[in-house]
Homo-oligomer: A and B are copies of this chain.
Amino acid sequence: MSDTEPVPAAAPAGRKRAGYRRLPVQQRREQLIAVALALFSARPPDEVSLDDVAEASGASRPLVYRYFAGGKQQLYEAALRSAAEELISRFVVPARGTPTEQLGTVLSGYLSFVAEHDAGYAALLRGGSVVETARTSAIVDEVRRTALRRTVRYMGVREPGPRLTLLVRSWISVVEACSLSWLDEGRQLPPAELCDWLVDEFVVMTAATAFHDEQTAEVLAGLLALDGPDGRAARLLGRLAAPHALG
């Protein structure tokens, strides 16, 4: 492929195709992926056609095929890969703050991503889409594995045992289920409240696992030490002991 797109040979001489512009190859590729991602975010992938992508990109259908010979499936995978990279780039823990504050910041970034990719996120995690393949599942799995690795590393653990792995994987699934539930209910709950809830769930799930596992007990002790004796985690656990005070 040359550096710039050729003038479309099929362009009728007498008809103005205002939307069709020539773009450098890399720029066009990125543009098509970005447009596809926007469309796949707004609607379930089964409802997005290659023509929709071409039209929204100001490109012709043959041009889209020049870049993505595999058609919609290939374009979907490229868009998904770009979304996965973007999501993983948000898994960065801020340098300052207590552990519960840091966790809240990362979760807030995750929920922004969920809101931006609404229908596409839901369709992807729900499964059964026509564009879902072993390759798309591998991309989703890679995001989950990265989230697991980063969380474990953040906990200061090198070799997570089966119970700590179980805890973190379970909590990641809570984040996903919570995101899906939030979208299904038309995003009724404010994202900040969801983040608070997810942080609380992380603390109590870790605390309950700590009774079953020494490694998790050490992680909890570290978290409580950094969070402080009057920190959010310690206060939450303290309140749980007096459930009659609820309601």
B163 with A169: CB separation less than 8 A: no
List of B residues within 8 angstroms of A217 by Cβ: 246-247
Answer yes or no: A181 CB below 8 A from chain B CBs.
yes
Number of copies: 2
Q: Which of B46, B176, B196, B243 contacts A234 (CB 8 A)?
A: B243
List of B residues within 8 angstroms of A130 by Cβ: 134
Answer yes or no: A12 CB below 8 A from chain B CBs.
no
A200 to B241: give the CA distance in the assembly, Å.
14
A172 to B176: give the CA distance in the assembly, Å.
12
Q: Beyond A169-B181, A170-B201, is A210–B246 a contact (Cβ under 8 Å)?
A: yes
A86 to B126: give the CA distance in the assembly, Å.
22
Answer yes or no: A154 CB below 8 A from chain B CBs.
no
B218 with A247: CB separation less than 8 A: yes
Q: How many A residues have CB within 8 A of the partner chain? A: 65
Question: Which A112-149 residues have a C-beta within 8 angstroms of B?
Answer: 126-130, 132-138, 140-141
Closest B residue to A136 using CB positions: B128
Question: Which A195-233 residues have a C-beta within 8 angstroms of B?
Answer: 196-197, 200-201, 203-205, 207-212, 214, 217-218, 220-221, 224
- A–B Cβ pairs within 8 angstroms, 23 of them: A127-B140, A128-B135, A128-B136, A130-B134, A162-B181, A162-B189, A166-B177, A166-B181, A169-B178, A169-B180, A170-B174, A170-B177, A172-B177, A174-B205, A200-B212, A203-B208, A207-B240, A208-B240, A210-B246, A220-B243, A234-B243, A237-B240, A240-B241
Name A's B-contacting residues (CB within 8 A): 46, 126-130, 132-138, 140-141, 162-163, 165-166, 169-170, 172-174, 176-178, 180-182, 185, 188-189, 193, 196-197, 200-201, 203-205, 207-212, 214, 217-218, 220-221, 224, 234, 236-244, 246-247
Extra A-B contacts (20), CB below 8 Å, given A224-B243, A240-B241: A46-B134, A127-B140, A128-B133, A128-B136, A128-B138, A130-B134, A162-B188, A163-B189, A165-B185, A166-B178, A170-B174, A170-B177, A196-B212, A197-B209, A204-B205, A208-B236, A210-B243, A210-B246, A218-B247, A241-B241
